[in-house]
Amino acid sequence: MDSLRQSKVARLLQKEIGDIFIKEFKSPLPGVMISITQVRVSPDLGVAKVYVSLFPSKDKKEALETLRKKTSEVRGFLGNRVAKQLRIVPEIIFYLDDSFDYAEKIDQLLKK
């Protein structure tokens, strides 16, 4: 169960990281739309697990690795944006959220 503070920080990070991908990076992965689906923050607010959906990407694992290589840049931009609100900018770990793909696969199986 997340505390109220964790939930607020998670929402702030989700909004700001999404904004960074739109405004700062323009296209960290050309031709791929990146959607931040969820952010989970540790109780000490030191680590943020960021779940991303990638559309339409043929090789999602490779795209995720490219995104993970840019983690320090994202954290730098994030530090500039949330410096007044957070004492410590959390370490960012990107994870692939494949729930949409799973739902689509289930939907296709039900149609058969």
CATH C-level class of 4-111:
alpha beta
DSSP-derived pairing of the beta strands 47-55 and 33-41: antiparallel
Q: What is the pLDDT of residues 49-101, one digit of tens each?
A: 999 988 876 778 888 888 899 899 999 999 999 989 999 999 999 999 877 77
| pLDDT value of position 1 | 66
| pLDDT value of position 4 | 93
Residue 67: which of 81, 53, 56 has the closest Cα? 53
Q: What is the pLDDT of residues 17-36, one digit of tens each?
A: 999 988 887 666 777 788 89
| Helix and strand element counts for the chain (H, E) | 4, 3
Is 70 exceeded by the pLDDT of residue 45? yes
Three-state DSSP string of 33-73: EEEEEEEEECCCCCEEEEEEEEECCCCHHHHHHHHHHCHHH
Q: State CA 63 to chain mean position distance.
A: 13
Q: State mean pLDDT over 101-107.
A: 78
| pLDDT value of position 21 | 87
| Domain edges within the chain | 4-111
| pLDDT value of position 107 | 82
| pLDDT value of position 97 | 86
